[in-house]
Structure 1
Amino acid sequence: MTDGAFLAIDWGTTNRRVYRIAADGTVEATVRTDRGILAMEPAGYADEVAAIRAEMGDLPILCAGMVGSNRGWAEVPYLPCPADIAGLANALHWVEPGRTAIVPGVAWHGTAHADVMRGEEVQVLGATLAGLTPATALLCQPGTHCKWAWMEDGRIDRFTTAMTGEIFSLVQRHSLLAAQMTGTVAAGDAFLRGVADAQGGDLLARLFGVRADFVTGRTPAGDEASYVSGLLIGTDVWARRPAEAPAIGLLADPVLGALYSAAIAAAGGRATLVDSHSAFIAGITHIWRHAA
């Protein structure tokens, strides 16, 4: 059953990407929509999946991401760290027996607090299995909630989530600084100044300083968005101590990849961009082939 063609769905909060994957692992077709879980009604998943099959082919389906959360189709228990592909495959939740399954997320029960991920586990494990990163490495997946995963011998040993992207969005749209943060974010001087300032800590005071510098004329207008981005990404990057893990695999789009690469370099590390879509395909295909 699990050695033939199938449909893979990366089903996130706001977006969904469907892949038709041939038996040899080749991606034959891809469709991306904004039909993430926030656009779904709880009782609508079976009909949605039927529509996907009508469009993409009447094949078994393997889903990953927030579709397995308490806001998705079915809440699937987290797999504890250390986690690998075989563990994920053995813990699949079949919402339609023999037809549709959901990959479990992964949980890290640290000493200070717990952490969770859904969907990113497929990509970081896939990156190592595809040889895109070493089997033992620090991987970073920027986004609304940035994931940092420490991989050991091809397993997710532990990970940390930082709300970097979400905090930037909130500051840019709803804070006292919103009116100033209208410029395009770029990895230039203002961004790097923010990264450097983040090393000193005191993030909350630094943020208000953006307003104070503007109204007193200390800094020119127009660079605030880049500076705040550098301050937040810098805070995230410095906390991971990249100088102690100088080679970091970065699963990111070109825009975020450029920002994080610049911040990591400023903090003494070196980032290597990894194709996140290829990593997902590798991960989901390995899970499918391992499934019992």
Structure 2
Amino acid sequence: MMVNAPIAIRPAFIAIDWGTTNRRAYAIAADGAVMDMMRDDKGVLAVPREAFAGEVAAIRARLGDVPILCAGMVGSTRGWVEVPYRMCPAGLDALVEGLVWVEPGRTAIVPGLSFTAGDSSDVMRGEEVQLLGAVAAGLAPADAVLCQPGTHCKWAKVRGGVVADFRTAMTGEMFALLKAHSLLGDFLTGTVIDGPAFRDGLALAQDDRLLSSLFGERAGVVLGRRDASETAARVSGLLIGADVREQDLVAGEEVHILADAALGILYAAAVTAAGGTPVLIDSHIAFSAGITAIWKAIDGR
């Protein structure tokens, strides 16, 4: 008796969230379910422009020979092809209209978003897929405040299901710069968790004296008044607390936080301390929902 071999099920498409230092690739089924995923450190800074086509081919060889949608810094001046930003207010339809096919019918790059008001300017690449995906998946309402912590923390207001405006805070980058290049660096080696030291940093942020408070952290250790092992958590709390404080949250206002669990917990504590109500959202689920909505729009589903 002959037994038929199982038929491999191909994904409908592959989505790549291609950042500056890392990338994630998702094999996604027609119904939006993630079938497989890979992650590595081949962000755009690690890939020469002439090598992007080869990198995409390698991902296809691993996850499936299907169309690919890319989002993130791969569409920047440092990426594969520079893709023009779409001006806010913008929804998923604007992202679909702004797609650039670098390999016709095979590989497209999603545009980022820009926002200007008076003398203020801001841009994002990649976060827009998560923001609009959270709304599309019902993880956040059509009118909401959303926060995406990270190297560059994004704060966005969604109105009627579209991104109305946003602002970026260099919170994570500031911590990294302080650790690598400042007098505080030797003291920023401890673990950052939501504990007493982190909460002390949040409270210190309410004094609204960020620059002098940062130096005070070093002075406190030098004078024996602070435990050096707690400095990283206190400084993290100070920076995140200052970030959240800038948002002028209304008492009880919901903030939908799109993040990995560890960072999400820290921002949730900061939002609570500022009088807001945090709602944690898995950023990977939001991304897959957003990129699937874009795929369905261009696939006619």
Shorter chain as denominator, the TM-score bin is over 0.9
2:234 matched to which residue of 1? Answer: 227
User: Are the aligned partners of 1:78 and 1:106 in contact in 2 as well (CA < 8 Å)?
Assistant: yes
Is 1:85 aligned with 2:92? yes
CA distance in 1, matches of 2:187, 2:60: 47
CA distance in 1, matches of 2:12, 2:195: 46
Report how many residues are paired: 289
Describe the SS at the equivalent of 2:131: helix
1:102 matched to which residue of 2? Answer: 109
**1:79 to partner: Cα distance:** 0.2
2:260 to 246, 253, 259: 253
For each residue in 1:110-137, what CA deviation from the matched residue of structure 2 results, as whole angstroms up to 9, or x when unmatched?
2232100000000000000100011100
CA distance in 1, matches of 2:33, 2:130: 17
2:22 to 9, 15, 19: 15
CA distance in 2, matches of 1:45, 1:65: 14
**1:47 to partner: Cα distance:** 1.3
**Residues 194-213 of structure 1: pairs in structure 2 closer than 5 A:** 194-213=201-220
CA distance in 2, matches of 1:211, 1:278: 40
1:37 matched to which residue of 2? Answer: 44
The TM-score normalised by the length of structure 2 is 0.93
CA distance in 2, matches of 1:271, 1:134: 14
**1:198 to partner: Cα distance:** 1.1
Aligned-residue sequence identity (percent) comes to 58
The amino acid across from 2:28 in the alignment is I
**Residues 1-292 of structure 1: pairs in structure 2 closer than 5 A:** 5-243=12-250, 246-291=253-298
**1:291 to partner: Cα distance:** 2.3
User: Are the aligned partners of 1:63 and 1:102 in contact in 2 as well (CA < 8 Å)?
Assistant: yes
The TM-score normalised by the length of structure 1 is 0.96
2:7 matched to which residue of 1? Answer: none
User: Are the aligned partners of 2:252 and 2:275 in contact in 1 as well (CA < 8 Å)?
Assistant: no
Describe the SS at the equivalent of 1:98: coil
User: Are the aligned partners of 1:192 and 1:230 in contact in 2 as well (CA < 8 Å)?
Assistant: yes
CA distance in 2, matches of 1:34, 1:237: 29
The amino acid across from 1:222 in the alignment is S
Quick check: 109-118 or 138-147, which moved more? 109-118
**1:52 to partner: Cα distance:** 1.4
Describe the SS at the equivalent of 1:222: helix
In structure 2, relative to structure 1, the CA distance for the partners of 1:158 and 1:240 (3 Å cut) is same
Structure 1 segments unaligned to the other structure (5+ residues):
none
Structure 2 segments unaligned to the other structure (5+ residues):
1-10
